Structure 1
Amino acid sequence: MAAQSGKDMLLKLDRDGSGSFLTVAGLRTRSLSFNAASVDTTDQESAGRWRELLAGGGVKRASVSGAGVFKDQASDGIIRSLFFSGTIRNWQLILPDFGTVAGPFQIVALEFSADHAGEVTFDLALESAGEVTFVAA
């Protein structure tokens, strides 16, 4: 796969639960990580005392983070409202030439910062709140 432009990785939000997704504007950086907890089934009869894991066991989760600038008061208001209400919404992360990761997420962190000579920026973190799907491009 050839190198991809980072600006083509999009984070989209179903802002009102209608299934109509809009791109979260102003994001300069985005990241996605998957994690799965292991379930240790090691016992005194485990071969060579090597750890054994339960296949398919444990809790899986996806985390998404982004940072950027709000483009307008409306997008700022939507994100802020979802954070303070603790609302879970469907989100999509589109990875060019790879696919789309989608599912319910909750905003678990929202941070604003500013420099005297610069713009106000924000950082947000999302945690999966249900089954996450992947559809290849």
Structure 2
Amino acid sequence: MTAQRGKDLLLKLSDASDPEAFSIIGGLRTKTLSLNTQMIDVTHSQSSGGWRELLVGGGVRQASVSGAGVFLNDASAVTVRSVFFAGETRNWQIIIPGFGTIAGAFLITNLDYAGEHDREATMALALESAGAITFAAEGA
């Protein structure tokens, strides 16, 4: 993956219709995607040289997304706020240029609003995966 502009990473939210349509929720200035897995230590008294052993394919996998910026429009702000207060999981897409798209159900776990008297109002949100996540390589 070659160097990419950070502003090109997109965060899209499903409208929960059938067929599903996705829209960009805002002008996010900072975005982070973290993919994690918990390890399961299966080390025992007979482990070679006393080295730790891990269970292959074990553990819980998760994806976390966070971002901060400004909402694209009033409709995006209302949708995100509604999804948060309803405690809904929704399908999201995280598009990483030059890499691919990560998609799946996420729960909004944090929603912040901020503003200064001489600047625009901003928001920040955090998402946690709530099911299986898929990855589609760019151009695949």
Question: TM-score if structure 1 supplies the norm length?
Answer: 0.94
1:9 alignment partner in structure 2: 9
Deviation beyond 2 Å, 4+ runs, structure 1: 15-18
SS at 1:132 equivalent: strand
Quote the residue 1:20 is aligned against: 21
Distance 2:15 2:42 in 1: 42
Which residues of structure 2 form unaligned runs of 5+? none
Choose 66-75 or 101-110, whichever is displaced more: 66-75
Partner of 2:132: helix, strand, or coil?
Answer: coil
Q: How does 1:36-55 map onto structure 2 within 5 Å?
A: 36-55=37-56
1:129 corresponds in structure 2 to 130
Map 1:68-79; keep pairs closer than 5 Å. Answer: 68-79=69-80
- 5+ residue gaps in structure 1? none
CA RMSD of aligned residues (A): 1.2
Q: Distance in 1 between matches of 2:24 and 2:11?
A: 6
Q: Shift of residue 7 of structure 1?
A: 2.2
Verify the 8 A CA contact 2:24 2:72 in the aligned structure 1: no
Equivalent position SS for 1:55:
coil
Cα deviations by residue, 1:32-68 (Å, 9 ceiling, x for unpaired): 0101000010111111111110000000000011100
Percent identity reads 54
Question: C-alpha displacement at 1:31, in angstroms?
Answer: 1.2
Is the 1:108–1:126 contact (alpha carbons within 8 Å) kept by the matching residues of 2?
yes
The one-letter code matched in structure 2 to 1:20 is A
- TM-score, normalising length: structure 2: 0.92
